[in-house]
Amino acid sequence: MVMLRTARIVPAWCLLTAAAGVAAALMLFPNECASLVQRLRGGLPGFGSATNDKLPPPPSLDDGTGMAERTSPRRTAPRSAPETPRAPAEINPFALPEEPAVDSEEVIELLDYQKGKGARRSPSRAAASEAKDVGTVVPALETVEPTRGVRSAQETDFGPAPTREPSDSVAKPRQITPIEEILERLESDAETDGAPPVDFGDSAAVVRAAQNLIDAGEHQAAHRLLSRWYWRQRAAGTAPAPGAARPGPAIELLMESAERCFRSPQPHLEEPYVIAPGDQLRKVAARYGVSWQFLSKLNKVDAKRIRAGQRLKVLRGPFSALIDCSEFTLTVHLRGLVVNSYLVGIGKDGTTPLGTFQVRDKLENPTYYGPEGVVGADDPANPLGERWIDIGDSFGIHGTIEPKSIGRKESRGCIRMRNPDVEDVYDLLTVGSEVVIQP
């Protein structure tokens, strides 16, 4: 009987001892025990084959927080993870903070002369970039192939962007006209001329004061004085029309002064430029914001035959143009200093746009694309003449084959000029020059 009871007690004691050992092992070595259990499950029937560890792990469903979502065999698709902020990217201790990006090359995008063409560079700029910088040879940069053309102007009237009216609590800015703006600049620049005060209502007094400055060698001060008088006459509506038979002594002296300042190699109005070996006239012109054609005419030199050490008369541009639709005039000026004034034709039925524009492109011998069809560059029937100065949206300044339309409202919105006049303006204005069109 005793032996029977002992045989029953011993297995129970062994089981208790084993359980205590397993519990102690789980407490002391949890990681090792978990690894052992995984291995046992892989090799025992009912828990999968031992070859399962060779299969690729299931795709991670990390929701961005570092915790992968557990999948259930009963679900056919995982639930969308909640939108939680992602952990910050690892910081590289060897990288400079906020290191600026460096462009590999300069990209210049220019508007094309014709809408819808998709060109990114103007023909004149493209020709300039392709010219070889060898010696002092200056190619004809502004000449483009005859296949380039201009579409007819749109019959739309658009002006400057509308402005919001200020509230009563805010002081309204003083509205000034383009001519008043030019006068303000001239008055500011005249403070450094040292010219004596003069009564601009007395044209004879203006002529005497300007002639005294010319005799003293102050050509720029004299021309500024005459230009101030001219713009006052324009503002008052009393300036004679360009090409008038008897313009008066003041206009005659103004034109003589403009000829000396802007069309003659003497006198120098600022320090002359000395040609260096390898210089090109187009590079010198670009440095001063004018066209190489203007510098060539100003100095009476062949652009392909300039020589090192030669002193050139230079002026800092760019030139600007003011078009007055009520007077049918286009006046080219350099920061208010009058260069010349021309008669023009404008659009019928108010189709000429009003506002401030910039020259976007220039073309010689343009091809015309209009409702009547295409007219070739050298065709005598080309209504654009020999020059096209683009100011955007298919509007431009161009020549004409109808000289009788000058001084009238007969175009589709463009500014028409006599062919010799538009050739002159073409050489003065450059891409980027400001063109103001006022009523």
Q: If you write DSSP's letter for every residue of 218-274 in order, what string do you get? A: -HHHHHHHHHHHHHHHHHHT-PPPTT-S---HHHHHHHHHHHHHHSSS-S-SSPPEE
Query: By C-alpha distance, which of 190, 159, 174 is closest to 335?
Result: 190
Is 414 a known active-site residue? yes
**Residue whose entry in the numeric block shows the structure tokens 């230009």:** 227
Instruction: Locate all alpha helices (DSSP H) within 29-120, ordered by sequence.
Output: 30-43
- 373-381 contact pairs (CB < 8 A, 24+): 374/149, 376/146, 377/146, 377/147, 377/149, 378/146
- Assign 331 to helix, strand or coil: strand
Residues 337, 335: Cα–Cα separation, whole Å: 6
Q: Are 335 and 302 in contact (CB under 8 A)?
A: no
Query: By C-alpha distance, which of 117, 110, 102 is closest to 147?
Result: 117
**Residue whose entry in the numeric block shows the structure tokens 């005497």:** 208
Which residues, including other chains, have CB under 8 Å from residue 309's CB and lie 6 or more apart? Answer: 274, 275
Which residues, including other chains, have CB under 8 Å from residue 49's CB and lie 6 or more apart? Answer: 42
Q: Are 61 and 78 in contact (CB under 8 A)?
A: yes
Is 261 a known active-site residue? no
Q: Are 337 and 261 in contact (CB under 8 A)?
A: yes
Phi, psi of 423 (to 5 degrees): -65, -40
Structure tokens at 388: 């096209």
Which residues, including other chains, have CB under 8 Å from residue 376's CB and lie 6 or more apart? Answer: 146, 367, 382
What single-letter amino acid sits at 221? Answer: A
Annotated catalytic residues are: 398, 414
